[in-house]
Amino acid sequence: MRNFYFLLLSLLSASSLFAQDTISTGDCKADFYFEHNPDIKMLVPGVAVNFYDTSEGNVIERFWDFGEGHSSTEKNPMFIFNYPQGAPNIKINPYRKVSLTIVTDSCKSTFTQTLNIFEIADSSYNYCDAIFRYREIGRDSLSELVEIQFDNFSTGEELSYFWEFGFGETSTEKEPLVKFNTNEPEYKVCLTVMGKDSCISTFCDAVYISAPPIPECKVDFAYEKKDMLMSPVPSMLVYFYHKASPDAIEWFWDFGDGTTSNEENPTHTYIQPPIIDSALVDPNPFRKVCLTIKTSTLCETTICKTIPVFTTMPNPEPEKCKAYFRYYHPEDMASIPEVVPIQLVDLSEGEIVSRLWEFDDGSTSTEEKPLVSFDAFQKEHKVCLTVTFADSCISTFCDAVYIHKPMPPDTIVNPDCPYSIKIDGGFPIEMSSCAGWVSASVYLNDSLVEPKIMTWSNGDESHKTDGLCPTQTYAVKALMHDGCTVKTEFILSADGTITIVKPIKWSIVGEREKLYVLPETQKDLIVEWRLCDGTIVEADSIPLDAINCGTDQSNMIVKDSMGNIIYSEIISLKGTTTGIEEIENEIKLWPNPVSDKINLRYSGEFQSIILVDIYDMTGKKLLSESFQNIVDGQQFRINTGHLKTGIYVCRVSANGRTILTQTIKQQ
C-alpha cells in the first residue's frame, strides 16, 4: 500500500512538473518529447536538452519557442537552459514553457509543455547562491581606516568562499572583518561561493565608506473636496491624489488635524470645530497637509500645502461651478507616426484661479489650451480637468479622447502587408554617448503580433537593440510569418525621443553627358553630398559623376535646421540611366505554388543585369541567380527543385532597386 501511495504521488508530481497543452485548427497535431543531453558540458550551471518533433501531419513549417526570445525552426533542436540565480526575497522559478507550432497544407497546431529544468537531468541538482550584507563596526579618523563586518547569507551544500575586496586583498573566510581606507568613497566587493557538484555563484555589491549620494526624487499632490456631511457633526470629505518620480513605495500623509495615513491616495474627513459664538465661524478654515514619500531608490522627500477646507459655513452648496473641456485634431500639425497631436480647450465658465489637466500616462498640465501628443496605438485616452474657481469651488470633469488617426503608411514597405512597427527607446541618465536603446513591436491594426524574425541595421536580431548613437539614422525590419516584410527608419535623439525618417525622393535630370541628382525635400531641410574624394558639400543638386563612386558610404545626407541628420542614402548608378524609375519595371511570376521551376517575365526598359534571390522565412538566402541584357518581354526560368516543401520569399532587383517581392510556396 505504501508503494501505491508513493507511485500516486510521483504521478501527480510529474503532471505538475511537465504540464501540457495542445491547440489545433484542424486534423494536424503538434507533439514532441525531450531528453537530457549529458554530453554537453557548460561553464555555468544549466542543462542541455534535446527536443524531438513527433507531430502528426505533413509538416511544411515549424517554430519552436523556448521562452525569453529564444526560438528555432529546426526539426529536432538542442537548447541549453541556464539555471536561475536567486537573491534575497526572490523565489527561484525552475519552470520553463516550451512550445512547438507546426503548419501543414490545411492546419496549424501548437503543443506546449511546462518543464522543470532542475528535474530534467534526472539527478539532484545542488543549487548554490552567493549573497552578503555588510555593516560598519568601527572608524578611526587618525589612521583613516574603517572596519567593515561582512555577514554571509549564501545558500548551498559544502560551500567554500572567495572574497575580493576591490583594493587587492582577498579572503577565504566565511564572514571576514576587513579594514578599508577612507580615501576612497566606495569599493566593489565580490563573493564567489563554490559548492557540491561544481556549483558556483558570484555576488558583487558596492561597499560605501562615505555616505552614498542621495538620489533625487520629486513629489506633488492634489486634492478634491467631494461632499459636505451635516450629521452627526458638520464635516468635509476630501480625496487626495499624488504623483511621485520615481514611483513611491511608502507614503506618510499628515492631514494637519492630528491624524495621519499611510495609504497611497487616501480619503480624509475633516470635522468642523464647534462654533463658540453663533456670529463667528471657524477662525482658521485652512489645514496644512504634508506628504512624505520614499521611492524604490530610497530617496525621501516631503511637500506641504495649505488647503482651504472650511472657507464658508459647512452647508451643502448647490452646483455653482463646473469644469468642462472639448478637443479637436489640429489639421496644420505634423508629428512622428507613433503619436497624434490633440488640442484640448478648457471651456469652464467662471473666474478660474487654477486648473490641472491629468492624463492617463501620468503627465499633467496647467495650461488653458494644452497641445498633447497621444499614443496612436491606443484608441482612447482618459483625460481629467480639475478647475479651482475664485469662490473656492473645485470641479473635476473627465472624458475620453478618441484617437481616429490611422497608422502612417510610410512604415509599410509592401502595400499588401497590413502591418506597422512601433518604436520606443531612450538613453541612460546623464549619458549622451552611443549608449541608447530601442525596442520595436509589430502591430496588425490594433493587435500586437509576433514577427518571424526582426533585424536591425546594426546587425542585431531581437526585439531590442542597444549601443545606438544620438542623431544617427537606424532601421529595423520585421519578416512576418505570412512572408510580408515591414520596416522603418528612425533617429534616436539624445533626449530619448524617436523621430521616424521618411525616405527622400530623388531623380536624375539633364542629358546623358551631364546628369544631375535632384532630391525632393522640404524648404527647411539641408542636403549635403559626399563627393568621391570624401569632401562634404551643400547643394540643391549635384552632378552624378561627382558622387557615383561605387562606395558603401552614404553620399546623400539630409539634415534639419538644427544640423541633425534625419536621412541618408547611397546613390549608385553604373554607366546607364535606364531602369531608374522603378514604376516602369514589372515582373510577372508563375506558377505559384511552385513544383520544380519558376517562370519570370520582365516588362520595362533594357536592364544590363537583373538579380533574383530566394530566402527562407528566417531571412536566410538560399538561391541567387543573375540574368544579363534583359529587354522588354523577355522570360527566364529558375530551378527550385532542390528547395524543401515550404514558404519562401522571392525578390527581384535591378540597379540596386527592388522590382518585386513576393512569397512563393514550394510543393
411-444: pLDDT as tens digits: 333 445 677 788 888 776 555 467 788 888 888 7
**Whether the Cβ atoms of residue 262 and residue 251 lie closer than 8 Å to each other:** yes
66 vs 79: CA distance, rounded Å: 8
Q: Which residue has the higher pLDDT, 197 or 51?
A: 51
Q: Residue 332 — very low, low, confident or very high, per pLDDT cuts 50/70/90? A: low
Query: What single DSSP character describes residue 4?
Result: H
Question: 229 pLDDT band (50/70/90 cuts)?
Answer: low
Q: Between 526 and 565, where is the model more confident? A: 526
Phi-psi region of 655 (alpha: psi -120 to 50; beta: other; left: phi over 0): left
Architecture of domain 325-402: Sandwich (2.60)
State residue 566's pLDDT score: 66
Tell me what pLDDT residue 292 has. 92
Instruction: Report whether pLDDT(302) > 70.
Output: yes
* pLDDT for position 124: 43
Q: How far is CA 202 from CA 43, 179, 560, 562, in A?
A: 13, 22, 49, 48
Q: Are 651 and 657 in contact (CB under 8 A)?
A: no
Do residues 510 and 482 make contact, with C-beta atoms less than 8 angstroms apart?
A: no
Q: Name the CA dihedral angle for 42, 43, 47, 51, rounded to a multiple of 10 degrees.
A: -40
Higher-confidence residue of 584 and 171: namely: 171
The answer to whether the predicted template modeling score (pTM) of the entire model surpasses 0.85 is no
- The three-class DSSP label of residue 291 is strand
Residue in 234, 240, 239, 311 with CA at minimum distance from that of residue 271:
234
pLDDT band at 297 (very low <50, low <70, confident <90, very high): confident
pLDDT score of 178 more than 90 = yes
Question: Averaged over 263-282, what is the pLDDT?
Answer: 66
Cα gap 327→329, rounded to integer Å: 7
Question: Which pLDDT band holds residue 211 (cuts at 50, 70, 90)?
Answer: low
Q: Give the per-residue pLDDT at 14.
A: 38
Confidence of residue 148 (pLDDT cuts 50, 70, 90): very high
Residue 25 in this model has a pLDDT that exceeds 50:
yes
- Which pLDDT belongs to residue 576? 31
Q: How far apart are CA 46 and CA 154, in angstroms?
A: 19
Contact in structure between 466 and 499 (CB atoms under 8 Å): no
Residue 285 has pLDDT above 90, yes or no: no
The predicted pLDDT at position 550 comes to 66
Q: What is the mean pLDDT of residues 189-215?
A: 79
Mean pLDDT (whole number) for 403-416: 41
Q: What's the rounded mean pLDDT across residues 453-461?
A: 77
Give me the pLDDT at residue 331, please: 59
Give 175's pLDDT tier (boundaries 50, 70, 90): very high
pLDDT (mean) for 336-353: 78
pLDDT band at 172 (very low <50, low <70, confident <90, very high): very high
pLDDT band for 502, please (50, 70, 90 cuts): low
More confident residue, 176 or 513: 176
User: Does 84 sit behind a cis peptide bond, omega within 30 degrees of 0 on the bond before it?
Assistant: no
pLDDT value of residue 379: 67
Query: Is the confidence at residue 34, as pLDDT, over 60?
Result: yes
C-alpha span between 506 and 508 (Å, rounded): 7
What confidence score (pLDDT) does residue 151 get? 92
- Apex CA 78: angle with CA 73 and CA 79, to 5°? 95
pLDDT digits (tens, 9 = 90+) for 95-135: 888 999 998 888 888 888 888 887 776 544 456 778 898 88
More reliable by pLDDT, 315 or 345: 345
Mean pLDDT of 17-44: 72
Place of cell 581606507: 181
Residue 231 pLDDT > 70: no
pLDDT of residue 656: 67
Q: Report d(CA 664, CA 622) in Å as an integer.
A: 13
Closest CA to 505 of 617, 581, 404: 581
Average pLDDT of the chain, as a whole number: 76
Top pLDDT among 164 and 323 is at 164
Q: What is the pLDDT of residue 577?
A: 31
- State CA 627 to chain mean position distance: 43
pLDDT reading at 535 higher than 50: yes
Domain 218-308 classification at class level: mainly beta
Share of the chain above pLDDT 70, in %: 75
Least confident interval from 56-60, 481-485, 581-585, 649-653: 581-585
Continuous segment of H or E residues that includes residue 17: helix 2-17
Q: What is the pLDDT of residue 433?
A: 60
d(CA 178, CA 180): 6
Find cell 540597379 and name the residue. 655
Among the listed residues 591, 589, 587, the one whose alpha carbon sits nearest the alpha carbon of residue 667: 591
pLDDT at 448 exceeding the cut of 70: yes
Look at residue 53 in the predicted model and tell me its pLDDT: 92
Q: In terms of pLDDT, which residue wins out, 138 or 7?
A: 138
- CA 506, 512, 515: angle at the middle one, nearest 5? 35
What tens digit of pLDDT does each residue of 481-490 get?
Answer: 766 777 787 7
The answer, yes or no, to whether residue 303 has pLDDT greater than 80, is yes
pLDDT grade, residue 215 (50/70/90)?
low
Q: Which of 52-56, 65-69, 243-247 has the highest mean predicted lDDT (pLDDT)?
A: 52-56
The answer on pLDDT for 348 being more than 80 is yes
| pLDDT recorded at residue 179 | 92
> What is the CATH code of the structural domain delimited by 132-208?
2.60.40.10
User: Is a pLDDT exceeding 90 seen at residue 164?
Assistant: yes
- With respect to CATH, is domain 582-666 assigned 2.60.40.1930? yes
pLDDT of residue 406: 38
From edge to edge, which strands make up the β-sheet containing 20-24? 20-24, 108-116, 95-103, 61-67, 70-72
Q: Across 413-417, 466-470, 624-628, which has the greatest mean pLDDT?
A: 624-628
CATH code for residues 15-116 = 2.60.40.10
d(CA 94, CA 91): 10
Strand partners, 572: none
Which residue in 323, 306, 326, 327 sits closest to 386, CA to CA? 323
d(Cα 304, Cα 255) in Å, to the nearest integer?
Answer: 10
Least confident of 214-223, 350-359, 459-468, 496-505: 496-505
pLDDT confidence of residue 556: 81
Q: Does residue 36 surpass a pLDDT of 70?
A: yes
Q: Quick check: 134 and 148 in contact, CB under 8 A?
A: yes
Nearest alpha-carbon partner for 640 in 659, 662, 615: 615
**Mean pLDDT of all residues in 220-234:** 66
Percent of the chain with pLDDT over 90: 9
